[in-house]
Amino acid sequence: MEYNFKQDLKAIREILGLTQMELAERLGVEQKTISRNEVGKNEPTSKLLEQVYAYAFEHNIKINKLKEMLWLDDLESGHKLLFHGAKSIIEGNINVHIGRTNNDLGQGFYAGESYEQAISFISGFDKSSVYFLDFNDKNLKCKKYEVNQEWMMTIAYYRGVLESYESHPVVKGLISESRDCDYIIAPIADNRMFQIINSFIDGEITDEQCKHCLAATHLGSQYVFVSDRAIEQVKLVERCYISNNEKEYYKNLRAEDTKLGDDKVKLAKIQYRGQGKYIDEILS
C-alpha cells in the first residue's frame, strides 16, 4: 500500500491557504512538481515526501491526526479503527503466522488503539510508517486481559523467562487460555514494563507490587490477532508517512511520560511492599 500523497499534498496546501506556486517556493521546488504530484502524474521522491510532511508538521498541521478523525467519523457500526506501527512497508496480505514468537503474547499481528501509540514504537526507524486498520469483530472470540497476575505471567512465558515453570499446570493453563480465541485485547508491555515483570519472576517483588508498578506505566491496550479467521476481518485502509520532526515530537512526549512512570514505579514498590505473593508461592 502506497501513501495517499496526492490527496495529502493538496489538503496541506489548501489548509495553509497557498497556491501551488507559493508552496513550491517555500519548499524550494518547481511549481510543476507540486502540480504533477497533486494529480498523481509523478511518483513522489523520498526527498519530496519528507519536505512536504515535515513542512506541514512544522506549521502545526497534523495531517495524520486529521485523517484519523475523519476515518473515525466514517467508521461503520461494529467496526474499530486500529493502528499498526511498521518498521518498513507491509508487503502482501497480513499474516498472523510470520511474526516473532517472543512478543508480548506470542506470534500474531499486533495493532494499537491510537495513532500516537503506534508512532512511539517505530520512531527510531528511518523507513517506518503507521497503518490505519479497519477491524470488524463480528462472530470472533476475544480473550481480554487486565493488568493482573494472569497477564503478567502470560507475558513472562512468551518473553521466555518462565522456562523453569513451563510444565506447571498453572502455566499450561495460561498458555491454553491465550490461544483459545481469535484475537486478544491486552495492556501493552514495553521493555521497561518487562523489566518489572522480570523482577517478579526473579522473586524480587510480589505479584501485588508488580501489578501496581505496571499499572503506573500503562501504555494503553494492544490488539493481537492470532487466528486466520480474525485477520480476514482486518483491512488496511491507510498508510501514513511520518516525517522526522513528527517522530521527534512523539519521541519526546514518550520520554516525558517515561520519567513520570519511573517515579510512580518507585512509589508503588514502596507502598505495596509486603503485600501479595512471590512467584515461588504462586507456583509451589
Give the domains, in start order, of the chain with CATH numbers. Answer: 1-61 (1.10.260.40), 80-282 (3.90.175)
Burial of 274 (0-12, 13-18, 19+ CB in 10 A): exposed
What's the predicted TM-score (pTM) here?
0.89
Task: Using alpha carbons, select from 235, 243, 229 the residue that is nearest to residue 90.
Answer: 235
Query: What gap in Å lies between CA 87 and CA 121, rounded to an integer?
Result: 9
> How long, in residues, is the chain?
284
Question: What pLDDT is attached to residue 49?
Answer: 96
Task: Give me the phi and psi of 102, to 5 degrees please.
Answer: -100, 25
pLDDT of the chain, 284 residues: tens digit per residue:
899 999 999 999 999 999 999 999 999 999 999 999 999 999 999 999 999 999 999 999 999 999 999 999 999 999 999 999 998 888 888 999 988 888 889 999 999 998 988 888 888 888 899 999 999 999 999 999 998 899 989 999 998 888 888 899 999 999 999 999 999 999 987 777 888 888 888 888 899 988 888 876 666 899 999 999 999 999 999 999 999 999 999 888 777 666 666 777 778 788 888 899 999 999 88
Question: What pLDDT is attached to residue 263?
Answer: 74
For residue 241, the surrounding DSSP H or E stretch is: strand 234-241
Q: Specify the amino acid at residue 245.
A: N
DSSP, collapsed to helix, strand or coil, labels residue 70 as helix
Question: What pLDDT is attached to residue 195?
Answer: 84
Instruction: Locate 282 and state its grid cell.
Output: 504462586
Q: Are 189 and 197 in contact (CB under 8 A)?
A: yes
Query: What gap in Å lies between CA 217 and CA 258, rounded to an integer?
Result: 8
Question: What pLDDT is attached to residue 211?
Answer: 86
Between CA 241 and CA 253, with CA 247 as vertex, the angle to 5 degrees is 140
Q: Are 223 and 110 in contact (CB under 8 A)?
A: yes
Query: What gap in Å lies between CA 162 and CA 35, rounded to an integer?
Result: 58
Question: What pLDDT is attached to residue 166?
Answer: 85
Q: Specify the amino acid at residue 18.
A: L
